[in-house]
Structure 1
Amino acid sequence: MSRARRSLDWGFPRWRGYGSSREAATVRLCDRHGCEEPGDCPAPKSPNSKERWYFCQRHAAEYNQKWDYFEGLDKEEAAARAKSEQSENAGYAEAAHYGWAGSGDGSRSADEMRALDVLGLESDVDFEAIKKAWRAKAKEVHPDVKPGDEEAAKAFQAYSLAYEVLRQAEERRSWKG
């Protein structure tokens, strides 16, 4: 009785062949002069043109920074295009409340936004303003200033917790940056 010969690749794909060819993949470079990054972000060369530049992500963001979508259109055409864009994207606007983030520019977490609300601050304040607001509010309700006042003690704890959340977030940002 003849037994089938056992394979020597043991089921590991890296020991098998990689396919019929092993040519290098072509990568288009960024069209920005001197940039060596892959150019995988198409950007129109002019309004309503089919020709495209191909930039890396950084240069595409720089190119599109002051892009006017309605340039070259008269008022009626611009209004018609804006209306069609709005009607096509209406589903996204209706579902915006399902998003992860709350108010702000997306750079702060929900916990940070709640902490800012406790301190009565806007979402775009810097850490010095946070520290100043925390000190002012904490001085008003500090247990040494209002001994025996339960409401003041709870408010002091809330302000301290809010400040701690914002301080830790600021530390995380400074470590990353």
Structure 2
Amino acid sequence: MARHTRSSDWGFPRWRPYGAEREAVKVRLCDRHGCEAPGDRPAPKSPNNPERWYFCETHAAEYNRNWNYFEGLDAEEAARREADERRDASGYTESRHNGWAGPGDGSRSRDEMRALEVLGLEVDAEFEAVRMAWRRLAKSNHPDVKPNDAEAAKRFQAIQAAYEVLKTAEERRIWKPD
């Protein structure tokens, strides 16, 4: 016969919030060695794997900062997966009229980031700094200045392409519909 136990609830008024229990609550700790914080943020152990790590907020941020989805893939497979991701997420791409945000806030595309890298600029560079870097590098690598240098010609073409990408992005960013 089941033994009836007395409730610790003494009726009205309730001295605890609704749903509160006196028993200990099970808390999963962070999977990072030595961390005693609650591990309430799941993170995948590897791509396409259902197993998860559970980190605290600090260690989840550290884990995500170093995460590389394409790690361990050859260049061809990584390019194929990236193309698939872009194709599948095409409905979620940012509309052009929402591209009003300034630089450095995550609104730059991957092509813009590569172009900034070619010009040797930081992520949050203003367009005036882009223009100055482009002029300086174009003058130093121009085929008229270095007539028989094939490397300088390649660098010049890369600099020109990078500037075109950033100029187009800037025009798109400042263009306002009527």
Shorter-chain TM-score bucket reads 0.3 to 0.5
Larger relative contact order (Cα-Cα within 8 Å, sequence gap ≥ 6): 2
- Computing the radius of gyration over CA atoms, which structure comes out larger, 1 or 2? 1
TM-score (norm 1): 0.46
TM-score (norm 2): 0.45
